[in-house]
Amino acid sequence: MDKFYHIVTYGCQMNVHESEKIAGILSEMGYASCEVPEEADIVVFNTCCIRENAENHAYGNIGMLKKLKAARRDMIIAVGGCLTQQMSKAENLHEKFPYVDIIFGTHNLCHLKELIERKLREKKTVIEIQDTEGDIREDNRPLRTSYPNAWVNIMYGCNNFCSYCIVPYVRGRERSRDADKIIDEVRSLVAEGYKEITLLGQNVNSYKGRLTFPRLLEEIAGIDGKFRLRFMTSHPKDFSPELIDVMARNPKICNCLHLPVQSGSDAVLKAMNRRYTSADYLKKVAALKERIPDCAVTTDLIVGFPGETDEDFNDTLALVDKVGFASAFTFVYSRREGTAAAKMPNQVPEEVSKARIMRLVDAVNAKTRALSQTYIGRTVEILCEDYDGKRGLYMGRDEHGRMGYFACEKDMTGQFVNIKITHANGISLTGELVQTV
């Protein structure tokens, strides 16, 4: 191969998987992957716009390629994803970085080959932002990069319009993939040797196909072979007793649930348009824990939503205390142009949000640490993912998503092993290899 690509990905797992689809397109065009932009003939930025800092990261890194592009004029720079799906942002990007060759939106990913060919023919910047979702394309074969895990999209888009969130504007309305195509894909992945399947969607439990989401999950869990099944993300309003039942009855489905709560204050939840109260959330978690007592619940939390008072924030701290999340992603509210919350009065001053997030992180970490301590002396099953050269240890995860490290000489990637936990440090565990499973 004499043509190389380099992809830079920002944001969520959906984007990570979409970068695998971009890699699939580029490899079919004869490009091979390379580690650094300096060696690449094409550099693709797959962007995110969920918060301002994700945008700024992308702008910073695109800016850093200016010199390289001046020295290597035939190198192609393409920028796609959620950020450029917004026409105003795409135009702004074109103005600020005129040396970017291709700008495309989330709905145009499948046309990347044509866009590159057009750029090779024409001198001017190719900009293609389609504002309708189009049909789901099944013909892009991803070039997977996260063995032993394989990401599998089951639905795209979001209809929820949480008032702070830009996703429904850049990912369009909900579209579900055909259930049989999903099941066939998982069956082939398991046959190829993937040991963990993660079903992806902005709101997986509003999946609408021939099967409901719990039935789809159960069919997939019924596929022969040893593998773990995960799914994300679930919306609390759609998290049903039927799903709890399917999780409880199928050992391949990990006892682990990512259930973003966002806030513990009912006033804030209402203003966020989340359509549940903190009591509803606690009831659902209690029902889950009743059936699956050791189920790890993880979450997303936002502080500094417009109008959030000290009392509202204290309600969030109280909820964190009651649930005892295995871990949580914590965010400072970021104002997104075009969303309902961007127009709300009483935007919270930055210093107030900063103080709140520090307290929240401390509260979350204290719970995570306490939970980790309960692992000491226990033997847990780890799926080996990677070698951590710095620490000279192998790294894997247990079904709850906790990282487990152990010393080992040989390459164990993709194997299930049992380790006896000797130390717990924050969210990660260290142990001794007991046996391979």
Q: Which residues are at the interface with ligand 5AD (CB under 6 A)?
A: 50-51, 164-165, 260, 262, 300, 302, 331, 333-334, 336
Write out the DSSP string of 130-176: -SS--PPP--------STTEEEEE-EE------TT--HHHHH-S-EE
Q: Which does 138 bind (CB under 5 to 8 A by kind): ligand 5AD, ligand SF4, none?
A: none
Of 186 and 302, nearer to ligand 5AD (C-beta) is: 302
152 binds ligand SF4 (CB under 6 A): no
Contact letters for ligand SF4, residues 168-187 (x by CB under 6 A): x-------------------
C-beta of 283: minimal distance to ligand 5AD in Å?
A: 20
Q: Applying CB under 6 A, which of residues 19, 84, 149, 160 lies at the interface with ligand SF4?
A: 160
307 binds ligand SF4 (CB under 6 A): no
Per the structure block, which two tokens stand in for 88? Answer: 């105003």
Q: Applying CB under 6 A, which of residues 19, 84, 85, 202 lies at the interface with ligand SF4?
A: 202
Write out the DSSP string of 383-435: EEEEEETTTTEEEEE-TTS-EEEE--SS--TT-EEEEEEEEEETTEEEEEEEE
Q: Which does 202 bind (CB under 5 to 8 A by kind): ligand SF4, ligand 5AD, none?
A: ligand SF4
**β 428-436/416-425 pair status:** antiparallel
Q: Applying CB under 6 A, which of residues 12, 154, 158, 285 lies at the interface with ligand SF4?
A: 158
Residue of 298, 283, 333, 334 whose CA lies nearest to 312? 333
Q: Which does 160 bind (CB under 5 to 8 A by kind): ligand SF4, ligand 5AD, none?
A: ligand SF4
Of 50 and 77, nearer to ligand SF4 (C-beta) is: 50
C-beta of 57: minimal distance to ligand 5AD in Å?
A: 15
Of 92 and 273, nearer to ligand SF4 (C-beta) is: 273
162 binds ligand SF4 (CB under 6 A): yes
Give the whole-angstrom CA distance, residue 341 versus residue 323: 27
Burial level of 68, CB count in 10 A (0-12/13-18/19+)? middle
C-beta of 299: minimal distance to ligand 5AD in Å?
A: 8
Give the whole-angstrom CA distance, residue 108 versus residue 335: 26
Q: Which does 334 bind (CB under 5 to 8 A by kind): ligand 5AD, ligand SF4, none?
A: ligand 5AD
Q: Which does 51 bind (CB under 5 to 8 A by kind): ligand SF4, ligand 5AD, none?
A: ligand 5AD
Give the full edge-to-edge strand order of the sheet including 126-128: 31-33, 3-9, 42-47, 76-81, 102-104, 126-128
Q: Which of residues 221-240 bind ligand SF4 (CB under 6 A)?
A: 235
Q: What is the CA radius of gyration of the chain?
A: 22
CB distance 381 to 437 below 8 Å: yes
Of 333 and 406, nearer to ligand 5AD (C-beta) is: 333
Q: How many residues bind ligand SF4 (CB under 6 A)?
A: 10
Residue of 412, 407, 428 whose CA lies nearest to 148? 412
DSSP category for residue 343: G
Q: Which residues lie near ligand SF4 (CB under 6 A)? A: 158, 160-162, 165, 167-168, 202-203, 235
